[in-house]
Chains A and B, each alone.
Chain A
Amino acid sequence: MIDLVGGVPLYVLEFGDELVYFTPYTITLFLLALTFTILVLISRPEKQVDIAFGGDAYRTKEISVSEMRFRRFMAIACGLATMGAMVTGDIFNFTLFTAMVGITNVGIVAAVKSPHVQDAAYQYGLVSLSATIPLFGGAAVYAATTGSLSMIELMKGTVPAVPLIAKGMLMLGVIGEGMAPFYAAKAEMFRAPGAPYVIMCSLSSLLIFLRVVEIVMLG
């Protein structure tokens, strides 16, 4: 139990099928997600400023209240999904939370009227939708080979070893939700105005990636 990357679980909550546990590692990630969600909750969106090159003229982009409300809601939903992914002790729940982060990421920029952003969001959505295939597939192979989806069971080392292919599929699925090689469309999405909400897209996939590192090293 000592050589676990996340540290020894401090608290395990088992409620029916639901399994939640905290290690020093996941507590850190959870608090980061929580802090940022609260920040989104209380902050007002930035107004992007366009400056005419070579002159003094500049103008700010107006964001309507209804658009702001929708994006704030989506950013908070994204934060909640991220928090869920940080503390869950069930592989399949983790994949569901990851898929939900993908959906809410699209939602955060969906209300923006810029066609360029819409196009980027659509392309990102296609990638994240196809990433759910290795994601769910990986979780299913986890269940097929070890007979359990519980991370606590995986920690104990009493179940058969997880094959590399399952870990690879899980990793590929998380990467597809917005990490390095599939990042291109997502980077374009950040052209959308409204700072605290848009950054949620980036932060959520970063946190999920940090969590999956821990999960992959368990079994």
Chain B
Amino acid sequence: MWDQYNLGLLCVLVAGVIGFVALARETDDLHRLLLLDLVEITALGVIALLGTDLAEALVLPGLTVGIAELLALSQIYITKEGLKERPVRGLNIEVIQKADAPAIISGFLVVYGLVLSGFTGGGVAGLGLVFWFMSRGYREDLNMLEMASGISWAIWIFAFFVFMFFPQYWFIALMGAAVGIVLKVTVKMSLVGTMWGEQHD
């Protein structure tokens, strides 16, 4: 077990060193940001090597913080380079835009995500919706989706209060938390990349 851990650690560190070498050789600012995101994955790899429930609980905040830093830096990059026009278009591929395949694939992903439920299910279902929005170049008022996300988040938090104060109703709390998180993650993920804040213009 210890040997396996050491071996895994070695692999991850080698991957990290390769990433850092690439980072040192790269001079373009945007590419450096993308490479850093890649290197960041190795940090999550080190955590994941713990191989326990704790590791799963630690990877999630690690990932979130990484994404938050990435978003902050991307925003600075956009301001720094003076990029004003950010037209949002779908995938400009005729086959994807016209064919039924994206509908089938995203429908499958959404259904599979709902079956999985919980955080993972939310991720899978959200991926399906992202793919659907990307392929169709969806343009609509997404405020409703935002609201749904907020409400499902509130359900999730409420379920946690039930866990804490009324442990005898654990089953309803479990169901509430599972449904809340699957809705929240689905909605949030589907908003990534589709909601660019153009309504502020």
Contacts and interface: CB of A to CB of B under 8 A. Distances in A.
Interface of A: 92, 96, 99-100, 102-103, 106-107, 110, 115, 118-119, 121-122, 125-126, 128-130, 132-137, 139-141, 143-144, 149
Given A118-B76, A136-B44, A103 B54 contact: no
Interface in B64-115: 65-66, 68-70, 72-73, 75-77, 79-80
Contacts, number: 92
A118 B29 CA distance: 13
A140 B49 contact: yes
Contacts of A144: 5, 49-50
B188 interface: no
Contacts of B29: 122
21 contacts: A92-B61, A96-B65, A103-B68, A107-B72, A118-B79, A122-B29, A122-B73, A122-B80, A125-B69, A125-B72, A125-B76, A129-B70, A129-B73, A132-B66, A132-B69, A133-B40, A133-B42, A134-B43, A136-B47, A136-B62, A140-B49
Given A130-B36, A140-B50, A144-B49, A125 B43 contact: no
B185 to A, nearest CB: 20
Contacts of A141: 46
B175 interface: no
Chain A contact surface mostly: helix
A61 to B, nearest CB: 18
Contacts of B42: 133, 137
B172 interface: no
Given A99-B65, A130-B39, A136-B43, A110 B32 contact: no
Contacts of A106: 69, 72-73, 76
Contacts of B47: 136-137, 139-140
B40 A115 contact: no
B58 A126 contact: no
B162 interface: no
B80 A119 contact: yes
Given A122-B29, A140-B58, A144-B5, A133 B72 contact: no
B40 A132 contact: yes
A140 B46 contact: yes
Nearest to A111: B79
A122 B77 contact: yes
Contacts of B33: 126
Interface residues of B, number: 34
A143 B65 contact: no
Given A106-B72, A143-B50, A133 B5 contact: no
Interface string B19-58: 0100100000100110010011011101101100011001
Given A110-B79, A143-B54, A128 B46 contact: no
Contacts of A136: 43-44, 46-47, 58, 62
Contacts of B73: 106, 122, 125-126, 129
B69 A137 contact: no
Given A136-B44, A140-B49, 10 more contacts: A92-B58, A96-B65, A102-B69, A106-B76, A107-B72, A126-B32, A132-B65, A132-B66, A133-B39, A149-B54
A170 to B, nearest CB: 12
B65 A118 contact: no
B16 interface: yes
B5 to A, nearest CB: 7
A110 B72 CA distance: 9
B101 to A, nearest CB: 37
